[in-house]
Amino acid sequence: MARGSDVIETARYPLTGKFMAGRSRDRMDEADLLALEAMVDRQRTLEGGEVFVSSDIPSREGAILIDGFLFRTIRDGARRHIVGLHVPGDIVNFNAFTMERSDHDLVSAGRARIGIIPQRGFDATVAERHGLARALWFAVLVDAAVQRKWTQVLGHLDAPRKIAHVYCEIQRRLAFTGEACRRAVRTPFTQFDLGDMCGVSTVHANRAISKLRESKIAEIRRGTLYTHDWDALERYARFEPGYLYGGNRGKEDRCMHEGVRSQ
Amino acid sequence: MARGSDVIETARYPLTGKFMAGRSRDRMDEADLLALEAMVDRQRTLEGGEVFVSSDIPSREGAILIDGFLFRTIRDGARRHIVGLHVPGDIVNFNAFTMERSDHDLVSAGRARIGIIPQRGFDATVAERHGLARALWFAVLVDAAVQRKWTQVLGHLDAPRKIAHVYCEIQRRLAFTGEACRRAVRTPFTQFDLGDMCGVSTVHANRAISKLRESKIAEIRRGTLYTHDWDALERYARFEPGYLYGGNRGKEDRCMHEGVRSQ
DNA sequence: CGTTCCCTTGAGTAGTTTCAATACTTGTGG
DNA sequence: CCACAAGTATTGAAACTACTCAAGGGAACG
């Protein structure tokens, strides 16, 4: 089962062990995995709301997200738009390695821990290691697929479904690295954040959450979503996990934390 | 001036001469450009509405779009969602080179001409040619940045502005390869297509177009947008071209077709 | 000359926004 | 331990935006 190997991975590769777990990770041999781990120069902890990358300031550093969440945001005058979300295991700011500037910002949502990957090490390692290069290429393409899904969801679902969809996606993405809990998805998101993610006002995000609660589909309190029926929630949100490219395991991908038993 | 060199490019590289013109194209030396041109195996013409790649059917072929437009669509039951748009010069279906399946479909909008790039040739060439690999990497990242912008636009602009934004973007992207006209953007899009792109109903797309016409910002007839004041249109749509990563030329990027004079 | 596809308009309904006011949490200092 | 402040969550009402259903008009193509 996937969970067992995940434990080994994070023990042996404490910084990068979550990278594309259950996905393109198996394209890499041990030398690749060691090279990946070695790309991390140092760790850094971000407090909630701290800006790691700003589109205003050129950056020559990417990172791997070790713990916590990062928002991808685009500012537009006074407004902030959350156009994407990073979970542990994601390599973030690929832009730094190839472009002068970034089109968006990276801001921590709650406390987060990252491992800094300098451009120099990245370029050299990728040029040498084919398996790693392919796995990174895969990661970027999955990232793009997720972005397309966000585009679709934003355009075509109503507010309660948008919010439900965000949580369904997070649940699955966390499950890849064995971080998902059985009955809950814990996030530090405020309703303000959820509104900015789903393109609705804070007030309406609140009403959407109320509707989810009233229709007994899910309960969201202080950023944490609780549900007893993931299938129902996913159906409601029209969530189809294919775009996350998680192997062919289907529902097995929704593997749960062992520590948390039913009731 | 960029236009002059574009003409040379398409003469010397008839299939791939538009690839990332004015952007990452200058990262490639002549050998790279020749290798890129050689990656194309054969040409193919797609009639309007023809499906080049379906998410249902595994594909081992990418392509470069030579002429016309392609929609990226996601089907959801009966509904079709247009989540992105390809213009000439784009390499399409990168997914084929790295993934078993695609998360979305590629469908021609009007007649289109593409140059097929088989996976085998792609992999081999990229492994050998660093400059080319970097340019392709850049192309994928720009593509992702465009996708993020679509996410933002879909979430936060009203319908008239969304439609205007689509045309502003197309205008700039065509301008990179010298295909932009001074006063018009010609597309084969129906109002039905525009609705699916902007996440609004056909009827509402029509009303949005009416509003643009009434407020003298732009006139859209049979897919073609006419305007006499691009700056005003871009301001209205809150269009900021930075996310297209078009060099540092600013307004110069909006270079116009020489053949089409005022009136 | 009619079919077909596309565009346009109207009317009623549903979803969303804004403004505004009120409560609940959490953390801080007295 | 309480008071207070700041941030977060909730609710109401009016206005706006967008949706659906429905019907009719226009252009292109055979």
pLDDT confidence of residue B3: 44
pLDDT digits (tens, 9 = 90+) for B65-77: 999 999 999 998 8
Q: Does B167 touch chain A (CB under 8 A)?
A: no
B74 → closest Cβ in A99, A141, A148: A148
Nearest to B103 among A140, A238, A242 (CB): A242
Measured CA to CA, the distance from residue A219 to residue A223 in angstroms comes to 10
A79: pLDDT strictly greater than 70: yes
Interface of A with B in 9-68 (CB under 8 A): 55
- Given this model, what pLDDT does residue A24 score? 87
Helix boundaries (H) for chain A: 2-12, 30-39, 95-98, 119-128, 130-156, 159-176, 191-198, 202-214, 230-236
What percent of chain B shows pLDDT beyond 90?
78
For position B243, what pLDDT does the model report? 96
pLDDT tens readout for residues B19-59: 999 898 988 999 999 999 999 999 999 999 999 999 999 99
Tokens of B11: 């003469």
Cβ of residue A260 closer than 8 Å to a chain B Cβ: no
Q: What DSSP line would sit under B194-253, residue for residue?
A: HHHHHTS-HHHHHHHHHHHHHTTS-EEETTEEE-S-HHHHHHHTT--GGGG--TT-GGGG
Residue A143 has pLDDT above 90, yes or no: yes
Q: What is the pLDDT of residue A7?
A: 64
Rounded distance between C-alpha atoms, residue B98 and residue A205, angstroms:
38
Question: Do the Cβ atoms of A33 and A78 come closer than 8 Å?
Answer: no
For residue B55, which residues of chain A lie inside 8 Å, CB to CB?
242
Q: How far is CA B112 from CA A151, B46, B68, B88, in A?
A: 24, 5, 4, 9
The HSE-up count of residue A161 (CA atoms within 13 Å, CB side) is: 15
Which neighbouring-strand residues pair with A44? A114
Q: Which residues contact A13 (CB under 8 A, 6 or more apart)?
A: A33, A36, A37
pLDDT at B214 over 50: yes
Predicted confidence band of residue B247 (pLDDT cuts 50, 70, 90): confident
Q: Are B65 and B87 in contact (CB under 8 A)?
A: yes
Q: How far apart are CA B180 and CA B198, in angstroms?
A: 22
Average pLDDT, chain B: 89
Give the pLDDT band of residue B2 (cuts 50, 70, 90).
Answer: very low
The CA-atom distances, in angstroms, between A112 and each of A60, A80, A104, B134 are: 20, 20, 18, 30
pLDDT (tens digit per residue) in B147-206: 999 999 999 999 999 999 999 999 999 999 988 887 899 999 999 999 999 999 999 999
pLDDT at res. B76: 87
Cβ atoms of B128 and B86 within 8 Å: the answer is no
Closest residue, by C-alpha, to the C1' of D27: B222
Instruction: State the pLDDT at residue A256.
Output: 56
Mean pLDDT of B243-250: 76
* Percentage of chain B exceeding pLDDT 70: 91
- Whether A147 sits inside 8 A of B147 (CB atoms) is yes
Q: Tell the residue number behind the tokens 């609004």, with chain if given.
A: B200
The confidence score (pLDDT) of residue B249 equals 54
Q: pLDDT tens digits for A12-62?
A: 899 999 999 989 898 899 999 999 999 999 999 999 899 999 999 999 999
Rounded Cα distance between A191 and A44, Å, is 27
Phi first, then psi: give them for residue A243, nearest 5 degrees. Answer: -70, -10
* Phi-psi region at A69: left, alpha or beta (left = phi > 0; alpha = psi -120 to 50): beta
Question: If you average pLDDT over residues A90-96, what whole number do you get?
Answer: 97
The pLDDT value recorded for residue B260 is: 38
Quick one: which of A130, A119, A123, A98 has its CA closest to B27? Answer: A98
Place of tokens 């990358």: A53
B70 — phi, psi (to 5°)?
A: -120, 140
Chain A contact set for B79 (CB, 8 A): 156
CA distance, residue B260 to nearest chain A CA (Å):
33
Higher pLDDT, A175 or A5: A175
pLDDT above 50 (res A261): no
Helices (H) and strands (E) in chain A, counts: 9, 9
**Which positions ≥6 away from B178 have C-beta within 8 Å?**
B2, B3, B6, B7, B21, B255, B257
Cβ B100 vs Cβ B51: under 8 Å: no
Q: Which residue has the higher pLDDT, A51 or A262?
A: A51
Query: To the nearest whole angstrom, how far is the Cα of B60 from the nearest Cα of chain A?
Result: 15
Query: Which pLDDT band, with edges at 50, 70 and 90, does A260 fall under?
Result: very low
Which residue from B minimizes the CA distance to A144?
B144
- pLDDT tens figures, A148-193: 999 999 999 999 999 999 999 999 999 999 888 878 999 999 999 9
Amino acid A10: pLDDT: 81
Cα separations in angstroms, B116 against A177, B91, B124, B141: 37, 10, 16, 21
DSSP three-state, residue A106: strand
pLDDT in tens, B112-148: 999 999 999 999 998 889 899 999 999 999 999 999 9
Per-residue pLDDT at B255: 57
Whole-prediction pTM value? Answer: 0.92
pLDDT value, residue A247: 74
Answer yes or no: is pLDDT of B231 > 70: yes
